[in-house]
Amino acid sequence: MIPSNTICVSQEGPANALALNKDCSQVVIAGRNVFKVFSIGENDFSEVCNLRVGKNLNLNFSSIDVAWSTIEENTLATAATNGAVVVWNLGRSGRSKQEHVFSDHKRTVNKVSFHLTEPALLISGSQDGMMKCFDLRMKEVARTFISNTESIRDVQFSPHQAHTFAAVSENGNVQLWDVRRHERCLMQFTAHSGPVFACDWHPEQPWLATASRDKTIKVWDTIDRKPNLEHTIYTIASVGHVKWRPQKTYQVASCALVLDCAVHVWDVRRPHVPLATFAEHRDVTTAIAWLADPHTFLSTSRDCSLYRHRFSEAAHPVLWANPHGVCVSARGDLAHAAPERPLPALPARCRPAPAERHLPGLGRKQPTAGSLSAGAQAALERAFPGGASSTLLRYSAPPHNALLQCAAHYRMRGAPPHVLAEHNANVARANNRHMVSHVWEVVRCVYEARAAGRGSPAPPRSKEPPRPEPPPLPPYTHTYNSAVEEEPLEEVEEWAETQFHNSGVLGKPTLSIYIPPSKPSKHARSLDDENTGWVSAASAHYVDVDAADWTLPEEAFPLRSAPPPPHALGAHTTPAPTAPPHTLRHDDKDHTVVPRSGGGTSPGGSSSPGSGSSGSSGSACTAPPNLDHSGYHHHSNMHMEEGGEGCDGGLAIRVGDNRSPQLDVAPLLAAALRQHADLGDVQTPAVVMLVLQDHRSDLFPYIEESLQEHWLLGYIELLQRHKLWNIATEVVRSAWISSVWVVSQQSTSVALCCGRCGRRWRRAACDCAGARAAGRGGAAVCAVCRRVVRGLYAWCQGCGHGGHLQHMRAWLQRHQLCPAGCAHRCQLA
Amino acid sequence: MGELTATNLFESQTILADHKDLIHDVAYDFYGERMATCSSDQYVKVWDSDGNGGWRLTASWKAHHGSVWKVTWAHPEFGQVIATCSFDRTAAIWEEVGDTAASGSEKGLRTWLKRSNLVDSRTSVTDVKFGPKHLGLLLVTCSADGIIRIYEAPDVMNLAQWTLQHEIPTKVSISCLSWNPSLSRVVHPPMLAVGSDEPNTTNAAASVQGDKTTACNGKVFIYEYSESSRRWTRTDCLSSVQEPVNDIAFAPNLGRSFHLLAVATKDVRIIKIEPIAESAASGNNGATVRFKCEVVAAFEEHYSCVWRVCWNLTGTLLASSGDDCAVRLWKMQYLNQWKCVAVFKNEPVPGDSPPQSRPHTTYIRMATMANPTHMPFH
Q: What is the pLDDT of residue A155?
A: 93
Could you tell me the strand order of the sheet in which A296-301 lies? Answer: A7-10, A305-310, A296-301, A285-290
Q: What is the pLDDT of residues A529-572, one digit of tens each?
A: 333 333 333 333 333 334 334 333 333 344 444 444 444 333 34
SS3 B240: coil
B contacts of A322 (beta carbons < 8 Å): 24-25, 69, 246-247, 307-308
Q: Which one of A390, A400, A432, A702 makes the best mutation probe of the B interface by having the most chain B beta carbons within 10 Å?
A: A390
Confidence class for position A288, pLDDT limits 50, 70, 90: very high
Any A CB within 8 A of B21 CB: yes
CATH of residue B83's domain is: 2.130.10.10
Query: Quick check: is B341 in a domain?
Result: no
How far apart are the C-alpha atoms of A695 and A444, rounded to whole Å? 12
Say if the Cβ atoms of B346 and A338 lie within 8 Å: yes
pLDDT for B153 equals 92
Do the Cβ atoms of A146 and A158 come closer than 8 Å? Answer: no
User: Three-state SS across A80-91?
Assistant: ECCCCEEEEECC
Chain B positions touching A403 (Cβ under 8 A) are: 1, 314
Minimum-distance CB partner of A337 among B37, B312, B319? B37
Cα-based distances in Å from A253 to A124, A191, A437, B331:
23, 19, 67, 47
Preferred mutation among A193, A277, A282, A322 to probe B, highest tally of B CBs within 10 A: A322
Q: pLDDT at residue A142 above 50?
A: yes
Q: Which of the pair, A602 or A399, is modelled with greater confidence?
A: A399
Interface test with A, best of B42, B253, B254 (most A CBs within 10 A): B254
A395–B11: do the CB atoms touch at under 8 Å?
Answer: yes
* Contact: A396, B11; criterion CB under 8 Å: yes
Give the range among A25-29, A596-600, B101-105 with minimum mean pLDDT.
A596-600
State the pLDDT confidence band at A750, using cuts at 50, 70 and 90. Answer: low
Cα→Cα distances A67→A22, A27, A59, B97, Å: 11, 10, 17, 54
Across-strand partners of B294? B272
Q: Who contacts A103 (Cβ-Cβ below 8 Å, separation ≥6)? A: A83, A84
Q: Give the closest-approach CA distance of B4 to chain A in angstroms.
A: 9
Pairing, β A285-290 against β A276-278: unpaired
Amino acid identity for residue B279 in this structure = S
Any idea which of A32-41, A59-68, A717-726, B328-337 has the lowest mean pLDDT?
Answer: B328-337
Q: Which residue did the predictor score with more confidence, A585 or A778?
A: A778
User: Nearest residue on chain B to A707, judged by CA atoms?
Assistant: B255
Number of neighbours of residue A396 by Cβ within 10 angstroms:
17
Q: CA nearest B156 in A: which residue?
A: A506
* Alpha-carbon torsion, ordered A585, A590, A593, A595, to 10 deg: 0
Instruction: Assess whether pLDDT exceeds 90 at residue A464.
Output: no
Cα dist from B304 to A821, B239, B299, whole Å = 66, 21, 11
Query: How would residue A602 be classed by pLDDT, with cut points 50, 70 and 90?
Result: very low
Partner-chain contact B22 A339, CB within 8 Å: yes
- Nearest CA to A51 out of A70, A71, A22, A78 is that of A78
Between CA A113 and CA A128 the distance in angstroms is 17
CA distances from A482 to A488, A795, A814 (A): 11, 22, 10
Out of B5, B40, B77, name the one closest to residue A272 (CB): B40
Give the mean pLDDT per block of 10 residues along chain B (378 residues).
44 83 91 91 90 84 92 91 92 81 54 91 91 90 92 89 92 90 80 85 41 62 89 86 89 86 90 75 50 86 85 88 85 81 67 35 38 38
**Is the CB of B286 inside 8 Å of chain A's CB atoms?**
no
Contact A680 B257 (CB under 8 A): no
Q: Cβ contact (<8 Å) for B256 and A340?
A: no
| Torsion region of A239: left, alpha or beta (phi above 0 gives left; psi -120 to 50 gives alpha) | beta
Instruction: Indicate if the pLDDT at residue A653 is higher than 80.
Output: no
Nearest CA-CA distance, residue B97 and chain A, Å = 20
The whole-number pLDDT of residue A826 equals: 80
Q: Are B32 and A331 in contact (CB under 8 A)?
A: yes
Interchain contact B265–A (C-beta under 8 A): no
Does position A791 have pLDDT exceeding 50, yes or no? Answer: yes
Q: Tell how strand A152-157 and strand A140-146 pair up.
A: unpaired
Task: Show residues of chain B in contact with A402, CB under 8 Å.
Answer: 1-2, 377
Q: What is the pLDDT of residue A763?
A: 56
* A-proximal residues of B, 65-84, CB under 8 Å: 65-67, 69, 77
pLDDT at A474: 37
> Do B319 and A334 count as a contact with CB atoms less than 8 A apart?
yes
Judged by a CB distance cut-off of 8 A, whether residue B309 touches chain A is: yes
CA distance A390 to chain B (A): 5
Which long-range contacts (C-beta less than 8 Å, at least 24 apart) are formed by A84-91? Answer: A84/A59, A84/A60, A84/A109, A85/A109, A85/A112, A85/A122, A85/A124, A85/A132, A85/A134, A86/A60, A87/A122, A87/A134, A87/A136, A88/A51, A90/A37, A90/A49
pLDDT the model gives residue B27: 93
Q: How far apart are CA A256 and CA B82, in angstroms?
A: 29
Look at A337 and B24 and tell me if their CB atoms are within 8 Å.
Answer: yes
Give the whole-angstrom CA distance, residue B86 versus residue A76. Answer: 43
Count of all residues that appear for chain B in the document: 378
Residue B335 domain flag: no
Q: Nearest-CA residue of chain B relative to A437?
A: B377
Residues of A in contact with B198 (CB under 8 A): 365, 367
A352, pLDDT greater than 50 = no
Q: What is the pLDDT of residue A607?
A: 37
Chain A positions touching B321 (Cβ under 8 A) are 324-326, 336, 338
pLDDT more than 90, % of chain A: 16
Of A234, A322, A341, the CB nearest to B42: A234
Dihedral sign for Cα atoms in the order A642, A646, A651, A653: positive
Q: Sign of dihedral through CA atoms A785, A789, A791, A795?
A: positive
Chain B residues with beta carbon closer than 8 angstroms to that of A370: none
CB contact under 8 A, A235 and B77: no
Express as a percent the part of chain A with pLDDT over 70: 65
Given this model, what pLDDT does residue A809 score?
Answer: 86
Asked whether the beta carbons of A40 and A62 are under 8 A apart, the reply is no
Residues B253, A360: C-beta atoms closer than 8 Å: no
B144 touches chain A (CB under 8 A): yes
pLDDT tens, residue by residue, A682-696: 888 888 888 888 888
* Number of residues written out for chain A: 829
Task: Select from A282, A346, A389, A740 the residue whose CB has the most chain B CBs within 10 Å, as the one to mutate to test that interface.
Answer: A389
Helix axes A402-409 and A683-692, enclosed angle (nearest 10): 10
Q: Is residue B179 part of a domain?
A: yes
3-state secondary structure of A753: strand
Q: What is the DSSP pairing of strand B268-275 with strand B306-311?
A: unpaired
In a domain, B246, yes or no: yes
A713 to B183: CB separation less than 8 angstroms, yes or no: yes
The answer to whether residue B355 is domain-embedded is no
Alpha-carbon gap, residue A349 to A318, rounded angstroms? 12
pLDDT value, residue B51: 77
pLDDT at A341: 74
For the sheet containing B174-179, what is the strand order? B174-179, B191-196, B220-226, B231-238
Chain A residues near residue B186 by CB distance under 8 angstroms: 706, 709
Q: Which of residues 329-358 of B touch A (CB under 8 A)?
A: 329, 332, 344, 346, 348-353, 355, 358
Q: How far is CA B181 from CA A20, B53, B132, B188, B192, in A?
A: 58, 28, 6, 10, 9
pLDDT at A756: 57
* Distance (Å) from the alpha carbon of B235 to chain A's nearest alpha carbon: 22
How many Å lie between the alpha carbon of B63 and the closest alpha carbon of chain A? 12
Chain A partners within 8 Å of B11 (Cβ): 395-396
**A332, B312: Cβ pair inside 8 Å?**
yes
Domain membership flag for residue B258: yes
- Average pLDDT value for chain A: 71
pLDDT for residue B201:
57
- Of the two residues A247 and B303, the one the predictor is more confident about is A247
Q: Do B255 and A346 touch (CB under 8 A)?
A: no
Q: How far apart are CA A616 and CA A718, in angstroms?
A: 30
Work out the average pLDDT over A160-177: 91
- What's the total number of domains in chain B? 1
C-alpha–C-alpha distance, residues B189 and B227, integer Å: 8
In 10 A of CB A638, how many CB atoms?
21
Q: What residues make up the domain containing B177?
A: 23-100+108-200+215-309
pLDDT at A395: 83
> Nearest Cβ partner of A273 from B17, B21, B319?
B21
Residue B334 covered by a domain: no
pLDDT score at B171: 83
Most B CBs within 10 Å: which of A239, A277, A334, as the mutation test of the B interface? A334
Query: How many whole angstroms from its chain centre is CA A76?
Result: 57
**A803 confidence band (pLDDT: 50, 70, 90):** confident
Separation of alpha carbons A266 and A233, rounded Å: 8
Q: Considering only alpha carbons, which residue of chain B is nearest residue A214?
A: B65
